[in-house]
A and B are shown apart, each in its own frame.
Chain A
Amino acid sequence: DIQMTQSPSSLSASVGDRVTITCRASQSISGYLNWYQQKPGKAPKLLIYASSGLQNGVPSRFSGGGSGTDFTLTISSLQPEDFATYYCQQTYTTPQTFGQGTKLEI
């Protein structure tokens, strides 16, 4: 299985901050990297697909990048509703695997 490692595991930030979360794959996954946001008691919500594609309806303050093994999710200016847990996921091969999550706290 391809191992996905996110850093940091948790992050404290303030409204208006710019934050970046990184995700590293144990082998090359080309651009098959997606990012989800999950709030307590809710299903994950797709933010970014294929490394940098912005899902319909997702605010433009979210952006993604990278290829191969190293990827980033950046939130340009944190809003109160952005405090949540973020997961990366590879869909390059099965089994699809997720990072362990990054909890973004105020």
Chain B
Amino acid sequence: QLQLEESGPGLVRPSETLSLNCSVSGDSISSNHWTWMRQPPGKGLEWIGHINYRGSTNYNPSLRSRVTISVDTPKNQFSLKLSSVTAADTAVYYCARAISPWLVQDYWGQGALVTVSS
């Protein structure tokens, strides 16, 4: 059974970098696409970006200048870094697997709430 689990600090100071990891079990990180999404409290879902098994990335243009998604194949995990955060980046962050050819997210982590506050 595929499982994904987000981990990282729950509180980040404004202007600093948000960092999250997603540990994957039950599938190889060297296959499929791997996605980060977020959901501000009480609001809808936003696609942040994804990385494929070759390490090729695709980011939301609204965040592209601040976001980096990378893969750590030996650890079977992938990560998200979002720089220069503000209160508007406060959200539940989800990692998910996206399967071809539709790139639909079929398995999700439980989500990690990250609050940006001083």
B window 75-118: CB within 8 A of A: 94, 96, 98, 102-106, 108-111
A side interface size, CB within 8 A: 23
Give Cα A96–Cα B105 distance, bound, in whole angstroms. 11
On whether the beta carbons of B109 and A95 are closer than 8 Å, the reply is no
- Determine whether B60 belongs to the interface, using a CB cutoff of 8 Å to chain A: yes
| Chain A residues packing against B (C-beta within 8 Å) | 1, 32, 34, 36, 42-46, 49-50, 55, 87, 89, 91, 94-101
Give Cα A55–Cα B58 distance, bound, in whole angstroms. 25
B side interface size, CB within 8 A: 20
In the assembled complex, how far is the CB of residue B46 from the closest CB belonging to chain A, in whole angstroms? 7
Give Cα A40–Cα B45 distance, bound, in whole angstroms. 13
On whether the beta carbons of B58 and A94 are closer than 8 Å, the reply is yes
Contacts of B111 in A (CB 8 A): 43
Contacts of A49 in B (CB 8 A): 102, 104, 106
Contacts of A101 in B (CB 8 A): 44
Contacts of B47 in A (CB 8 A): 94-98
Give Cα A38–Cα B61 distance, bound, in whole angstroms. 26
On whether the beta carbons of B46 and A50 are closer than 8 Å, the reply is no
7 A-B pairs whose Cβ atoms sit less than 8 Å apart in the complex: A32-B102, A34-B104, A50-B104, A91-B103, A94-B60, A98-B45, A98-B46
Contacts of A36 in B (CB 8 A): 45
In the assembled complex, how far is the CB of residue A86 from the closest CB belonging to chain B, in whole angstroms? 11
In the assembled complex, how far is the CB of residue B114 from the closest CB belonging to chain A, in whole angstroms? 15
Contacts of B108 in A (CB 8 A): 43-45
